[in-house]
Structure 1
Amino acid sequence: MNRNVLIAGGGIAGMAAGFAAARAGWRATVFERAHAFSEVGAGVQLGPNVTRILQAWGLGDALKQVAAFPAGLRARSMNTGEVLATFPLKDAVSNYGAPYVTLHRADLHGLLLQAAAREGVQVHSDSVVQRVHQTPDSVMFDVMQHGQLQHHHGPAAVAADGVWSPLRQQLLGDGLPVFTGHIAYRALVAQADLPLHLRSQDVLVWMGSQAHVVSYPVRGGDYLNVVCLAEGRLLDDDANDLQALQTWNAQKSEAQTLVELHHALRGACAPLTDLMAACSDWRLWPLCGRPAMQGSHQHAQGRVALVGDAAHPMLPYLAQGAGMAIEDAAELALQLDHATAEDVSERLQQFAQARWQRNARVQARAVRNGQIFHATGPMRLGRDMGLRLMGARLMDVPWLYGYDRN
């Protein structure tokens, strides 16, 4: 049997899918549109539901080399600085059997890329998958590789080409993602460049009204990833500009960025304003999304599976975007492990049935968290009081962190 799986997209979702498929005995070929992988300054949080998978894949030691292991999460009031609640992330190992880690997105991608290379995964850069064709027996990708149109065949394929997935548009025809009205401002700062009182090895979440700030250590704790998420004020002139919405690493002038941050964080306490002032080189990421998944058809069509943001873009308010992509890859490998050329479509339907409801639940919970983090008026007062009274019980998510398909 020809056990070649074609994968559109070489980001975290695509590399995880390629690596997992290769471990299941498939020859994985990844097509990435970029000329080279870039090191964008963004952080990633991985809960024990995800690190459990990486450990099972034999990547636990590699993860330790690049990740930070925060002891706790502290929720604070953006305006007063009060610590509203704490959650002991260090207990993830005893509670769920795997750690909670934070790391640089490029380090996670590099870890997966190296692991995939060891498994023989072929990665082609400057390769744009333009179209997918299916017959009852096979799949074909039309790929523009280095300016030349090439055709690649196999019994199975994966669309891991991101939130703006062209393959999703071809397969599902359900329109483009929608701008949520939320923008993420991202910065990365060396801890050594910060005064002692601003350095942190914990996850900090500063909650306000229509905005919040999260910071956590990356690169073994040497750097601090800082993200301000604010609503509605930031792309008023560009909200209908598709190119602007598709840019997740944009940069504005420093003066304009500072004005926007000052507006989003008006009334913030001194420790938070000090932290924001210590950061520079802010990058913008307009958050675009889709409604929560409605059915298994959004995860697989015939011999093509959709994974990661191509299937279920996640708002960052549950810190599970990368995690769900890795969970997708693990489930895909479970189904491909015993697949034959004849039953690939059935196996991918089983993959879709196993994944769509969980991903829909995570999508919905992320939206709900965003509403809580950005609550105004009486809802904000209720949020703060609830955190004071219930603390860790509100922040623990057993159904999320305890998930283990094995």
Structure 2
Amino acid sequence: MNKQVLIAGGGIGGLAAAIAAARADWDVRLFERAGQFSEVGAGIQLGPNVVRCLQAWGLQRPLQRVIASPGALRACSAITGRELGHLPLGMDSVHRYGAAYATIHRADLHALLLEALQEQPSVHLNLNQFVSSYAESDGVVTIRTSGNKLIEGDALIGADGVRSKVRAQMLDDGPPRITGHLAYRAMVHQAQLPKRLRTGDVTAWLGPHLHAIQYPVRRGELQNLVVIVQGPAPEDLDQWDHSANLPDLLVHLKGTCSYLQDLVQHVPDAGGEWRLWPVADRVPLASPRQMAQGLVALLGDAAHPMRPYLAQGAGMAIEDAAELQGALSMHDLDVSLRLRRYALNRWQRNARVQERSLRNGRIFHATGLVRWGRDLSLRMLGSRLMDVPWLYRGNN
């Protein structure tokens, strides 16, 4: 009889964990708070390290149907509009790292994972339920759901996001920290933009105390646009997603180049609307016990929420799941040892990505002499500075 894993959370991390566990020959029961599986309209960058994980799960063909394949990663000045650095992607990425650099609509990735999961007979999906607490005893973990049901399993994976209830019980380390960074996000139809505002690349616009990212998704039909600024969140911003006000964003963008301001102002005309997320994170991981204890493990944002300055939040969750599959497949080991092995193999890499994300944020938003030095370095060494071999090769 197969062992049973209980998974809290039906986002990308939870679905990836469920695929991994099913492929390791475990029965899976997944619990999702919402009444349906869905994702909001935002984009995700998938480095070759992540694409290789999805390929290993047999998802290359469905992935190809929905991704965009950017030609380059570009860094530009948000003030002057000039290009500072350039890293070729496309086949260059395939040759260097064995997989493409892809961009995808979050809803498309979610749907792709869900479809793959629904083909697994050992998986049971439970909507309108979340894991409110758990207890361990005699080699069994028992969860209590929001419907006050008690359900037993052999392991519990907390993939329930940045405000994880599983993490709260396991680590009791308080809420995530509010970073003082706000992310304005929009998704638009490229065909409804003037040609000069369309893109087939990933472009980062770097400015004092802010930066913007634009890139294509869904075969290039849509463009994802994110502007991250520094400043206090509105007082009523107590949820993770709120309608944003274009005039407020334009105040933050005062003094930036005409291209960026034109792009931002064309969002409503191109079928988009601005949404606002306060960016939350935690300090980088310091030990494997922050990812697994006993029969309980954390995955994705529940374990290591990070600032979006390395574009690896979803990627690290998928890498976590791939490592979890290997650990759960060690059938000669006790379950607690398998989860400990998972944590030992993941925590340092996740911590490094968290730290690099923090560093990138300081560089992206630099002012004064630091900004001058950044721009000069990018002009002289752009492709070397923008490439991240240790990340894309999958090494620590």
| Counterpart in the other structure of 1:74 | 74
- 1:236 offset after TM fit, Å? 5.0
1:304 aligns with 2:296: yes
Question: What is residue 206 of structure 1 aligned with on the other side?
Answer: 205
Q: Does residue 291 of structure 1 match 2:283?
A: yes
Matching residue of 2:134: 132
Secondary structure of 2:309's aligned partner: helix
Alignment partners' CA distance in 2, 1:169 and 1:128: 14
Q: 2:168 is matched by which residue type in structure 1?
A: Q
Q: 1:168 is matched with which residue?
A: 167
Does the residue aligned with 2:149 lie in a helix, a strand or coil?
strand
In the aligned structure 1, how far is the partner of 2:315 from the partner of 2:235? 33
Q: What SS does the corresponding residue of 1:204 show, helix, strand or coil? A: strand
Q: In structure 2, what is the Cα distance between the partners aligned to 1:339 and 1:285? A: 42
Structure 1 position 249, deviation (Å): 2.1
Deviation at 1:84, TM superposition (A): 0.5
CA distance in structure 1 between the aligned counterparts of 2:54 and 2:246, rounded to whole angstroms: 38
2:321 to 322, 329, 344: 329
Report the AA paired with residue 98 of structure 1.
A
Equivalents in 1 of 2:331, 2:284: separation in Å?
A: 29
When residues 54 and 32 of structure 1 are mapped into structure 2, their CA distance, relative to the original with a 3 A threshold, is: same
Deviation at 1:93, TM superposition (A): 0.4
1:99-128 Cα offsets, whole Å, 9 max, x none, are: 100010011011111111112321111002
Take 2:40 and 2:6, find their aligned partners in 1: how far apart are those partners? 26
Tell me the residue number matched to 2:226: 227
Amino acid in the other structure paired with 2:392: Y
Residue matched to 2:108: 107
Are the aligned partners of 1:32 and 1:128 in contact in 2 as well (CA < 8 Å)? yes
What amino acid does structure 2 have at the position aligned with 1:217? P
Give 2:196's aligned residue: 197
Following the alignment from structure 2 to structure 1, what is the Cα–Cα distance between the partners of residues 294 and 138?
8
- Alignment-mate amino acid for residue 366 of structure 1: S
| Contact 2:246–2:274 (8 Å) recurs in 1 | no
Per-residue CA deviation, residues 51-82 of structure 1 (Å, 9 max, x unaligned), is 00100110011100110000101111001110
The C-alpha deviation readout for 1:336-394, integer Å capped at 9, x for no partner, is 01235x70001110110000000000000001001100001111111111100100100
Distance apart, 1:136 and its partner CA: 3.3
Aligned-partner residue type, residue 237 of structure 1:
E
Q: Could you tell me how far apart the structure 2 residues matched to 1:95 and 1:387 are?
A: 21
For the aligned residue pairs, the C-alpha RMSD in angstroms reads 1.3
Q: CA deviation at 1:258?
A: 2.2
Number of the residue aligned with 1:369: 360
Matches within 5 A, 1:33-112: 33-90=33-90, 91-112=92-113
- For normalisation by structure 1, the TM-score amounts to 0.94
| TM-score relative to the length of structure 2 | 0.96
Deviates more, 1:114-123 or 1:102-111: 114-123
Deviation at residue 2 of structure 1 after TM alignment: 4.2
- What aligned pairs does 1:256-405 form with structure 2 within 5 A after superposition? 257-280=245-268, 281-339=273-331, 343-403=334-394
SS at match of 1:149: coil
Shift of 1:404: 6.3
Q: How many Å apart are 1:248 and its aligned residue?
A: 2.6
Report the number of matched residues: 390
Runs ≥4 residues deviating over 4 A: none
Q: What is the rounded CA distance, in whole Å, between the counterparts of 1:66 and 1:259 in structure 2? A: 33
The answer to whether the 8 A contact 2:39-2:110 is kept is no
- 1:39 deviates by 3.7
Mark the runs of 5 or more structure 1 residues left unpaired by the alignment.
239-243
Q: Distance in 2 between matches of 1:128 and 1:305?
A: 16
